[in-house]
């Protein structure tokens, strides 16, 4: 059984990109990284989302978000199943935080793309912008 105990935002940086103010079409490719640490009865997941100027086209804003979720994980040893359930449970909160940041900045709301965590595997995995790194130490 995996139960989300809560989450907190450790770091949040947001900056409007004045260079992109006249752009109409944006292609934003967020970099999303998940770090997982499993204890005997708990699981901690860190999520980092970065949107910066290293995009193919100018982006309307730069953003860096670091969020950590805590889970109770009783009698669970299957790290793949834990990873799947933890990422699926925490990611909607990450999406909501980023949408709120952009909405409150009085720019069109930005929604992180949906991720099908079923297709990601448990090994360190790179897919254009999503990195899942199991069993990393988190500060």
Q: Give 100-130 pLDDT, tens digit per residue.
A: 999 999 888 899 988 887 765 444 444 455 6
In the sheet with 125-127, reading across from the earlier edge strand, the strands are 2-16, 61-73, 42-51, 31-38, 130-133, 125-127
Cα–Cα distance, 84 to 98 (Å, whole number): 21
Q: Angle at CA 122, nearest 5°, toward 121 and 123?
A: 95
Comparing 7-11, 40-44, 64-68, 123-127, the range with the smallest average pLDDT is 123-127
For the residues 86-105, what does the mean pLDDT come to?
94
Q: Domains of the chain (ranges plus CATH)? A: 2-133 (3.10.420.10)
> Residue 57: is its pLDDT beyond 90?
no
Mean pLDDT of 48-69: 91
Tell me the mean pLDDT in the region 94-104. 95
DSSP per residue, 4-51: EEEEEEEEEEEEE-GGGTT--------EEEEEEEE-SSEEEEEEEEEE
Dihedral, CA of residue 71, residue 6, residue 94 and residue 39, to nearest 10 = -20
pLDDT in tens, 8-38: 999 999 999 888 777 777 788 899 999 999 8
């Amino acid at each position: 059984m995996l139960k989300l105990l809560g989450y907190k935002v450790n770091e949040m940086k947001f900056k409007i990109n004045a260079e992109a103010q006249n752009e109409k079409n944006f292609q934003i490719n967020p970099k999303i990284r998940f770090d997982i640490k499993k204890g005997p009865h708990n699981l901690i997941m860190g999520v980092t989302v970065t949107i910066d100027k290293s995009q193919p086209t100018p982006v309307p804003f730069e953003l860096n978000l670091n969020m950590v979720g805590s889970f109770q994980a009783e009698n669970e040893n299957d790290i793949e199943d834990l990873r799947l359930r933890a990422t699926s449970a925490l990611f909607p909160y990450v999406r909501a935080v980023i949408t709120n940041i952009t909405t409150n900045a009085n720019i069109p709301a930005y929604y992180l793309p949906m991720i099908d965590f079923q297709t990601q595997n448990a090994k360190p995995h790179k897919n254009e912008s999503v990195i899942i790194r199991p069993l990393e130490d988190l500060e």
